[in-house]
Structure 1
Amino acid sequence: MHLLREFFGWIRSIGVAFVFALLISVFVFQPTKVLGGSMEPTLQDKEIIYISKILHTLNSLPDYGDVVIIDSRIDRKRSILDDFTENPIFTLFGKKVEHNIWVKRVIGRPGDVLEFKNHKVYRNGQELAEPYIKELMHFSTDEKIKVPEGHIFVMGDNRNNSRDSRNIGSIPVDHVLGKMIM
């Protein structure tokens, strides 16, 4: 009887620790792996980074230049269930990792007007100083892009090898899953 009571005590302790770890990784911070070279030279393929989830939890806007984790499926609404089921803890149980989570840099915030000309990015008429980019950007367009309310515009640091807001459009704030802290 004593052995059974001790066994259930351990099970309860492990269960509480698991729930606590899950809540921290959903709402506070979590590690994630960079997949691909779109953030070179800042981040390398398969590099592990740590993200703060506070922005997402509070539905706050990231700052210019922040490296953020986004859900690229902007054509669908995110729910709290997504935050739990897409959590890395569930990959321990064999859940397939989707490639819809992207690591990008914030270039524009709501109301900003972005232009891409002369191999450079202009925000509200001012050329951005971007020492973090890998090489001159080959993308240009005559179109001016205005970032809508409740959205951000993101790009990879490897501008010539990045799928980002130039491809899928502005990102709803609720699709910003966190901000890189390490």
Structure 2
Amino acid sequence: MKVREIVGWIRSIAFAVVFALVLGIFVFQPYKVDGHSMDPTLQDQQRIYVSKLSHTFNYMPDYGDIVVIDSRVDRSRTFLDDVLGHPLIGLFTGAQDDHSMYVKRVIGKPGDVLEFKNNKVYRNGIALNEPYIKETMDYESNGKMTVPADHIFVMGDNRNHSTDSREIGFIPLDHVMGTMIKNPFAGK
């Protein structure tokens, strides 16, 4: 009787772990904001919840969406990266201290022409209305840039203190880990 009960418990625990892994890899995952690049919208160490369906099904996020990206754009991502990035696996591998995941806002999608002038971002010749940014952007660049196919351009809301696509480049769609969802427990 005892052995049967122990086997039942082990089976239940194994099922729960596999279920949690599948949910975290393909559907839903919490992330923690690291730094002040998304001030005032998100604060340092704030926990956010991300729908991973856009990553799982490889679809394009919308303008203004807050996304989690893998900033290592110079390398290809694999399924193993998704598995190792899961919080349960990270407890055993130390990957929870990985600082390559950034939280940013989608500014440009494939084919968009972006300019940075007059302390504003212009998309396809039109200045963006960005009430969410912390302060007037000090960044300007010469010329225009076009977002390539299967990529996005992201920026932090704290434009003067953000490492984003201006430095790391365009973000391949498979490096978009997911889109932030409103916290159902936040009461806002």
Q: TM-score, normalised by structure 1?
A: 0.97
Deviation, 1:21, is 0.7
The amino acid of 1:85's aligned partner reads L
Aligned to 1:119: 119
The CA RMSD over aligned residues, in Å, is 0.8
Distance 2:47 2:107 in 1: 23
Aligned to 1:167: 167
Cα contact 2:84–2:90 (8 A) shared by 1: no
Q: Return 3-12 or 156-165, whichever deviates more.
A: 3-12
Distance 1:92 1:151 in 2: 31
Aligned to 1:145: 145
Distance 2:72 2:49 in 1: 22
Distance 1:95 1:8 in 2: 30
Aligned to 1:62: 61
Deviation, 1:88, is 1.3
The answer to whether 1:14 aligns with 2:13 is yes
Give the unaligned 5+ runs of structure 2.
Answer: 183-188
Distance 1:94 1:111 in 2: 39
Distance 1:93 1:14 in 2: 17
Distance 1:93 1:78 in 2: 21
Q: TM-score, normalised by structure 2?
A: 0.94
The answer to whether 1:180 aligns with 2:156 is no
Deviation, 1:93, is 2.6
- Percent of residue pairs identical: 61
Matched residue count: 181
Task: Give the match's secondary structure for 1:141.
Answer: coil
Task: Give the match's secondary structure for 2:142.
Answer: strand
Deviation, 1:91, is 2.8
Give the unaligned 5+ runs of structure 1.
Answer: none
Deviation, 1:94, is 5.2
Deviation, 1:92, is 2.8
Cα contact 2:120–2:128 (8 A) shared by 1: yes
